[in-house]
Amino acid sequence: MNNLLFLTKTDTTIGFVSQDASKIDQAKERLPNKHYIRAVNSLRTLQSFTRVPSWHKNRVRRSKRTTFIMPNGHSFRVVKDCEHNLLLDRLKWVYSSSANLSGFEYDKGYVQRVSEVIISSKASSDKGEASSIYRLGQMTIQRIR
C-alpha cells in the first residue's frame, strides 16, 4: 500500500500522493531532481523528519494549508481537520504534488489513467487553491507563494 500512486483530493487541491517519489515522477513525466512537498498527519510525524526552528514552532503548529521549506531544503505541510487525513492517518506521510503533467494543465482523463488508486469524494472538485509556501530560516521567514 505504501508504494501505490493515489489520486485524491488533498487539503488544497486534487493531486497525486505516494510514499514513492519516483511514482509521482513517472506520472508527471518530470525529472527526478526536484523535491516534493511531504504532507504529514501530525507534528509528531514532522519531528521524525526535521527540526522546526524554535522561532517558528508556533507558526507551524497553528498554520493551515501552508507549506514550509525547512532550513535543510525539504518542504513539509502538516494536514489537519480535513478528509485527506483519513489517508494520511494510515500512511503517516506522503509525497504530494498537483495532478497534472509537469508544466501542463489538469487533464482528468490522463490522471485517471496513470493513477493506481483513485480516492473520490462526493464534495470533490477538480481544482482548488494552492497552499501558501514559506521558507524558514533560523530567525527569518520569506514568502515564496
Determine the pLDDT at residue 128. 67
pTM as predicted: 0.88
Q: What is the CA radius of gyration of the chain?
A: 15
Task: Give the model's pLDDT for residue 124.
Answer: 52
Cα 21 off chain centre by: 11
Distance CA 72, CA 82 (A): 28
Contact yes or no for 119/5 (Cβ under 8 A): no
pLDDT for 10: 86
Q: Note the CATH architecture for domain 6-143.
A: Alpha-Beta Complex (3.90)
Distance from the Cα of residue 49 to its chain's centroid: 15
* Span 34-72, pLDDT tens digits: 889 999 999 999 999 999 999 999 999 999 889 999 998
Provide the mean pLDDT of the chain. Answer: 88
Residue bearing cell 520569506: 142
Q: Report the C-alpha gap between 10 and 17 in whole angstroms.
A: 9
Strand pairing class (6-9; 117-118): parallel
Distance CA 121, CA 2 (A): 21
**Under 8 Å between Cβ of 39 and 94:** yes
User: For the stretch 75-111, what's the b/e string if a residue is b when 16 or more beta carbons lie within 10 angstroms of its beta carbon?
Assistant: bbbbbbeeebeebbeebebbbbbbbbbeeeeeeeeeb
The pLDDT assigned to 127 comes to: 62
